[in-house]
Amino acid sequence: MLYTKDGSPPHLTPDLLDAIEDVQGVHLGLQELFEHKDVFVKYRQVKDKGAHDFFALGEHVTFFGIRDPMAFTESPSSGPTQKQTDTPQQPNNPSQSPSSSSSSSSSSSSKPPSSSPLPPVAQGYITATSKKGRAKVTVQDYADIITSLSPDVFSGMSAEVEWRASKKRSHKACHLSSDLLDGLLALLPPHMHQRVFGVVSGAGFKDQRLRSAQDVAKKNVAGFVLSGFDTGETLDERAEMLEIIMQQLPVDKPKLVTGPGRPEEVLDMIAAGVDMFCTYYPHLNTQMACALSFPVSYPFPPSQQQHDAHDPSKLNLRDPVYVLDKLPMVPGCLCYACRTHTRAYVHHLLNTHEMLADVLLT
Amino acid sequence: ASFMDPPLQFIVTAECGRARVGRLHLPHHICDTPMFMPVGTQGTIKGLTAHQVVDLNCGVILGNTYHLGHRPGPEVMKELGGLHEFMKYPRAMLTDSGGFQMVSLLKLAEITEEGVTFQSPHDGSTMLLTPEMSMKIQNAIGADIMMALDDVVSSTTTGPRVEEAMHRTLRWIDRCIKAHDRPKEQNLFGIVQGGLDPALRDQCLAEMIKRDLPGYAIGGLSGGESKDKFWPIVGQCAKGLPRNKPRYLMGVGYALDLVVCSALGVDMFDCVFPTRTARFGTALVPWGALQLKSSEYAMDFQPIDSNCTCLVCRKYTRAYLHTIAGSEGVAGQLLSIHNIGFQMGLMKNIRDSITNQTFPDFVRSFMRQQFPTNNAPQWAVDALREAGIELSNI
């Protein structure tokens, strides 16, 4: 799923995006989009339209995720530790800073769509971190942004923890994911239930992962987000954990992972049963002035590299060796940049700090 | 590029007052004037692909000799087949001589009879730009139109320096003509100087016309002089230049200026304004400009201009553009697409109304949109009057 920033793939205007044939879907991130929630809500009210129209995403599948593929940050989250009674409805204020993570939330109750009282667990929250700072995202907030944007598929709420988090912290996150999912489903209209991906949490703890997977496998969800990968685990640990998780999950539902993007890792994960990837790996390469050049079809053609490279999977186009190179970045590649331009031109654009370099590399 | 002999033909196809529509035949493209030429300083219009520039109906775009002469340099440029091949832009190009940088980088430049010595702001290295060197670089770049190296002074300069620069410009045009190596493929334009002094301008005009060049530019303006000194010189030069050759006013790009100067008989314009302002989050519209970073647009679900048919106005709301204006690179790209489209649309309206003999009505309706409370600037009123267009007072 293509990485986006504020709803747009970096450097790709809609005409350029449409010209890239193999892109099927995009990732939309809670972290940076949450600050615009009120705009999306209004847009839905006024225009009855959502993410596809607002971000001009055309025919692309949209996945709304919790974790920013570009930056992994642990952020505070909280579930209630005791039952709460209903309190009069107050508007949520997403810009207030969250209290410390272990205190129970005394946030206002959310307004349920029906007249039945909201289950107490729905008063937990997670956090969205954007350029403006941190914001609390309650279940009601998340439901609002989901119903407004109406993404094709979306993650359940989850607290992201890194692989080597403490057992206690990870345990809390598992419970939160589970509880918030129930709360979310209670707030969403039925036709959206078929689009939610349940979250498998548990950091590096096999027993927690097992329980989390078993728990979410029972729920009536469309697919699964396997959270917390590419947060410090070794490749062996990852493979082992994926196996444990996959055994618990139904075969006929998609599994999505946010984070890893290097081609070898993607291939390993596909072999393990992962179906969808949210990564900013291509964008990272663009920022480093590298053109990805690893072969993508089998049988592999003989190496096209003309120069010794430390990493045969990419070309660093800042290298002065390309100044007169009239070849396309990757000979045989059918993208616009390779059909039209030369390595020499991209090298020049990088040298002169021109934005078009990023556009073509993207 | 087609082989044309001579490599430029200019035919006036309609006139309305002093304004005229022309067909300009260049080796790489046939253009309609009056036309606006976006600026692609370093071999790219910032952030836009060559295809996008073509899709926007651009005819001629600019490249900058000083910058391209520095990076990638004339040898590399020549080896790679010239700027057209380098950028893969199929239509026409114009390179300026590098002279403007004399003014804009003045602290780093020293001007002598030989040429201009620049100190690069990037790495401190010095580069001597002579008329011969400028021609050599521009010949390597291979643009359809090349500008002579002129001695440019800031339009706010007064005194003997202005006259010195005008005379030197004439000596340099002769050196340029001599050094120009590809006269059958590239057109060398002379630049009329003389500051804000009508007598100097007249002298320069007379001398330039004697050189019988394919086209001429009005230089040394658009640099901070007051508008009521600017327009009479534009008018004088446009009037004084031959009717059957294109007239290029350098560095002019605000909508109002484009309309007024077209009325005075100018055919070609260039400016970084529409693309630069796009990168700061500003969208150009017939009634002015939208500063999309402003929170007033946060929940505005209209397109930038509901009458605009560009990609950006068809697909996006002001509210969305507000979320990314000034912060995401793609915002600059999107707004550049819109702004260039805007400029192209404006020029088309100018041309169509001249052809249909309704140009004065177009100007009046344009002015009403830009200045709805009858607050048009006096200089524009005066200039249009000189061009034969009275703005009716409502």
Can you read off the two tokens belonging to residue A351?
């040298």
d(CA B341, CA B284): 10
- State how far Cα B100 lies from the chain centre: 12
What integer is the mean pLDDT of A85-104? 35
The complex's ipTM?
0.87
Kindly state whether B328 is in contact with chain A, defined as any CB-CB distance less than 8 angstroms. Answer: yes
What integer is the mean pLDDT of A74-89? 46
d(CA A145, CA A129): 15
Given the residues B32, B150, B267, B270, the one annotated as active site: B270
Residue carrying structure tokens 């004037």: B33
Is the pLDDT reported for residue B332 higher than 70?
A: yes
Question: How does DSSP classify residue B390?
Answer: P
pLDDT at site A301: 58
CB A9 within 8 A of CB A2: yes
Burial class for B265, CB neighbours closer than 10 Å (0-12, 13-18, 19+): buried
CA dihedral sign, ordered A225, A227, A232, A237? negative
For residue B119, name the pLDDT band (cuts at 50, 70, 90).
confident
Q: Which of B86, B317, B330 sits opposite A11 (nearest CB)?
A: B330
CB B62 within 8 A of CB B53: no
List of chain B residues whose C-beta atoms are within 8 Å of the C-beta of residue A55: 320
Is the pLDDT reported for residue B106 higher than 70?
A: no
Is the pLDDT reported for residue A323 higher than 60?
A: yes
Give the chain A residue whose CA is nearest to the CA of B122.
A352
CB B59 within 8 A of CB B31: yes
Between residues B123 and A93, which one has the greater pLDDT? B123
CB B66 within 8 A of CB B350: no
d(CA A58, CA A65): 19
Among the residue ranges A166-170, A199-203, A298-302, B189-193, the one predicted with the least confidence is A298-302
List of chain B residues whose C-beta atoms are within 8 Å of the C-beta of residue A48: none
Contact state of A344 with B76 under an 8 Å Cβ cutoff: yes
Is the pLDDT reported for residue A90 higher than 60?
A: no
Question: How does DSSP classify residue B393?
Answer: P
What integer is the mean pLDDT of B350-366? 97
What integer is the mean pLDDT of B13-28? 97
Question: How does DSSP classify residue B148?
Answer: P
Kindly state whether B332 is in contact with chain A, defined as any CB-CB distance less than 8 angstroms. Answer: yes
For residue A96, name the pLDDT band (cuts at 50, 70, 90).
very low
For residue A95, name the pLDDT band (cuts at 50, 70, 90).
very low
| pLDDT tens track for B311-325 | 999 999 999 999 999
Q: What are phi and psi of A321, to 5 degrees?
A: -60, -20
Smallest CA-to-CA distance from B23 within B10, B7, B8 is with B10
CB within 8 A of A327, min separation 6: which ones?
Answer: A342, A343
Tell me if the pTM is above 0.90. Answer: no
Percent of chain A with pLDDT over 70: 82
CA-derived radius of gyration, chain A: 22
For residue A299, name the pLDDT band (cuts at 50, 70, 90).
low
Given the residues B32, B96, B150, B305, the one annotated as active site: B96
Is B32 an active-site residue? no
CB B166 within 8 A of CB B124: no
Residue carrying structure tokens 């007052």: B17
List of chain A residues whose C-beta atoms are within 8 Å of the C-beta of residue B64: none
Is the pLDDT reported for residue B17 higher than 70?
A: yes
Greatest extent of chain B over all pairs of C-alpha atoms, in Å: 61
- State how far Cα A173 lies from the chain centre: 18
pLDDT at site A119: 42
pLDDT at site B299: 96
Residue carrying structure tokens 């016309």: B209
Question: How does DSSP classify residue B106?
Answer: G
Interface test with A, best of B42, B49, B78 (most A CBs within 10 A): B49
Is the pLDDT reported for residue A29 higher than 80?
A: yes
Smallest CA-to-CA distance from A13 within B107, B322, B315 is with B315
| pLDDT tens track for A238-275 | 999 999 999 999 999 999 999 988 888 999 999 999 99
Between residues B337 and A132, which one has the greater pLDDT? B337
Buried b (16+ CB within 10 A) or exposed e, A327-357: ebbbeebebbbbeebbbbbbbbbbbbebbbb
Q: Vertex A226, ends A184 and A202: CA angle to 5°?
A: 85
| pLDDT tens track for A42-78 | 999 999 999 999 999 988 999 999 998 887 656 566 6
Percent of chain A with pLDDT over 90: 61
Is the pLDDT reported for residue A311 higher than 70?
A: yes
Q: Three-state SS string across chain A, please?
A: CECCECCECCCCCHHHHHCCCCCCEEEEEHHHHHHHHHHHHHHHHHHCCCHHHHCCCCCCEEEEECCCCCCCCCCCCECCCCCCCCCCCCCCCCCCCCCCCCCCCCCCCCCCCCCCCCCHHHHCEEEEEECCEEEEEEHHHHHHHHHHHCCCEEECCCCCCCCCCCHHHHHHHHHHHHHHHHHHHHHCCHHHHCCEEEEECCCCCHHHHHHHHHHHHCCCCCEEEECCCCCCCCHHHHHHHHHHHHHHCCCCCCEEEECCCCHHHHHHHHHHCCCEEECCHHHHHHHCCEEECCCCCCCCCCCCCCCCCCCCCEEECCCHHHCCCCCCCCCCCCCHHHHHCCHHHHHHHHHCCCHHHHHHHC
Kindly state whether B80 is in contact with chain A, defined as any CB-CB distance less than 8 angstroms. Answer: yes
Give the chain B residue whose CA is nearest to the CA of A322.
B76
Q: Which of B47, B316, B328 sits opposite A56 (nearest CB)?
A: B316
- B50-55 own/partner pairs: CB under 8 Å, 24+ apart: B50/A340, B50/B87, B50/B88, B50/B89, B50/B90, B51/A336, B51/A340, B52/A13, B52/A15, B52/A16, B52/B337, B53/B89, B53/B340, B54/B89, B54/B90, B54/B91, B55/A15
Contact state of A345 with B87 under an 8 Å Cβ cutoff: yes
Is the pLDDT reported for residue A27 higher than 60?
A: yes
Q: Vertex B161, ends B157 and B167: CA angle to 5°?
A: 125
Q: How many CB atoms lie within 10 A of CB B254?
A: 16
Is the pLDDT reported for residue B51 higher than 80?
A: yes
d(CA B101, CA B255): 24
d(CA A317, CA B237): 47
CA-derived radius of gyration, chain B: 21
Kindly state whether B299 is in contact with chain A, defined as any CB-CB distance less than 8 angstroms. Answer: yes
d(CA A205, CA A165): 9
Q: How many CB atoms lie within 10 A of CB B379?
A: 17
Counts for chain B of helices (H) and strands (E), in that order = 16, 16
d(CA B147, CA B177): 11
Q: Average model confidence (pLDDT) for chain B?
A: 92
Kindly state whether A222 is in contact with chain B, defined as any CB-CB distance less than 8 angstroms. Answer: no
Distances in Å between the alpha carbon of A322 and those of A87, B81, B122, B217, B386? 67, 16, 21, 38, 55
Q: Which of A13, A46, A336 sits opposite B334 (nearest CB)?
A: A13
pLDDT at site A82: 32
| pLDDT tens track for B155-185 | 888 899 999 999 999 999 999 999 999 999 9
List of chain B residues whose C-beta atoms are within 8 Å of the C-beta of residue A8: 324, 328, 330
Is B181 an active-site residue? no
Kindly state whether A5 is in contact with chain B, defined as any CB-CB distance less than 8 angstroms. Answer: yes
Can you read off the two tokens belonging to residue B383?
């200039």
Is the pLDDT reported for residue A81 higher than 60?
A: no
CB B185 within 8 A of CB B27: yes
Kindly state whether B73 is in contact with chain A, defined as any CB-CB distance less than 8 angstroms. Answer: no
d(CA B241, CA B227): 21
Q: What are phi and psi of A289, to 5 degrees?
A: 65, 30
pLDDT at site A92: 37
Distances in Å between the alpha carbon of B285 and those of A91, B140, B256, B340, B343? 38, 38, 12, 11, 9
Contact state of B80 with A324 under an 8 Å Cβ cutoff: yes
| pLDDT tens track for A142-191 | 999 999 999 999 999 988 888 999 999 999 999 988 889 989 999 999 99
Q: Which of A54, A340, A358 sits opposite B317 (nearest CB)?
A: A54
Between residues A222 and A119, which one has the greater pLDDT? A222
CA of B313, closest CA in chain A: separation in Å?
A: 11
What integer is the mean pLDDT of A207-234? 93
CA of B166, closest CA in chain A: separation in Å?
A: 33
What integer is the mean pLDDT of B351-367? 97
